[in-house]
Structure formats: C-alpha cells, structure tokens
Amino acid sequence: MLESTGVSWIPLLQIREARGFAVALVNARHGKNVPGRPKPDRCDCRWLQKLHMSGLLAPSVRPPEDICQLRSLLRHRDHLSQMTVKHIQHLHKARDHMNLHLHHVMSEVPGVTGLRMLRASVAGERDPRTFAPYRDYRITSSPDIMSKALEGE
C-alpha cells in the first residue's frame, strides 16, 4: 500500500503485481478522516497499515492488465502530441526572432511547404526568392508576398 504524493505509482504497482504481491491502491485522503489518527507524519505509515489490516481502507478499482496497457499507450500518445505542439511553438518563436514572418502568408507553418522551406534553410539556403518552388499549390499567397515575408536575418 502506497500513499500518493503526486508521483505516479502505477508502474511500481504493476511490477509488484507481476511478482505475485497483493497490492492495493488506496486513496490516502480516506485514512485522514478516520478518528484516532496520530498527529506526527512519521507515524502515518503504521496508521495506514493498521487501517488496511482492519479493512477500513477500500482499495481503488484497478482495470485488467490489457486495459492498463491501452491506457498507458494512450497517455504516451497524448504526451507525444503535447510535446509536438511545444516544438511547433518553439519553431514559431525561432522564426519570429529571425524576422521570418511565414505565419502571415501560410495558415499551417509545419505543413508541407513549411517543412520544405525548413529543410532548405537547414541545408544552407538563404535567398528568399529561391523558396518559391517549395510552395505548395494550395497556398494562395503569391511568390513575391512570400519572399517579402521571408526577408529576415
């Protein structure tokens, strides 16, 4: 039995369950409302153990292993998409610092055209007029307007 302190205990519980331990995930707030609780925090572990042995702490419902694996995969996918958004924001900020206002002429900077232009600039291309061939056919801005937006440092 572990008291949650903001850290995810789920992987540790899964490891212990796989090794044959009987693990109960318990909400620690339920034990704080029981009368007779000792005041110092160092006695909390003994107090929680006594409550658990007496059957006063109900374990939380844990889904089966296949649902836990699916939940972990979905959480990881959500984390990756959040990190993608952060990296795109860093890309926008770096282009703003270089006075490359590409977001004024394109609605989706990390799209096909934006990635082509990014790859060309990483390869060493610096002339804004040479980026016109990288334009996707769906962009409504003219090559002149796009080259003016790409004039920077």
Q: How far apart are CA 137 and CA 143, in angstroms?
A: 11
67 inside domain: no
Q: Are 143 and 91 members of one domain?
A: yes
- What DSSP element (H or E) covers 69? helix 65-97
Gyration radius (Cα) of the chain, Å: 28
pTM, whole model, 2 decimals?
0.52
pLDDT in tens, 105-136: 777 777 787 788 878 878 888 777 777 777 77
pLDDT at 83: 92
35 inside domain: yes
Q: Pick from 149, 51, 151: which is nearest to 103 by CA?
A: 149
Grouping H, G, I as helix, E, B as strand and the rest as coil, residue 36 is: coil
Provide the residue range defining the domain that includes 22: 10-54
What tokens were used for 129? 């007029």
pLDDT at 78: 93
Q: Are 93 and 47 members of one domain?
A: no
Q: Pick from 143, 129, 128, 14: which is nearest to 71 by CA?
A: 14
Q: Are 45 and 92 members of one domain?
A: no
Question: What are the residues whose beta carbons fall under 8 Å from the beta carbon of 51, sequence distance 6 or more?
Answer: 31, 34, 57
Q: Are 50 and 104 members of one domain?
A: no
Label residue 150 exposed, middle or buried (CB < 10 Å: 0-12, 13-18, 19+).
buried
123 inside domain: yes
74 inside domain: no
Q: pLDDT-derived band of residue 3, with 50, 70 and 90 as boundaries?
A: very low
pLDDT at 59: 81
**pLDDT: is 9 or 69 the higher one?**
69
81 inside domain: no
4 inside domain: no
61 inside domain: no
pLDDT in tens, 51-109: 888 887 888 888 888 898 898 899 999 999 999 889 888 888 887 887 777 777 777 77
Q: Based on the structure, what is the number of domains in the chain?
A: 2
Q: pLDDT-derived band of residue 40, with 50, 70 and 90 as boundaries?
A: low
pLDDT at 51: 81
Tally of CB atoms within 10 A around 82: 10
38 inside domain: yes
Q: Are 94 and 50 members of one domain?
A: no
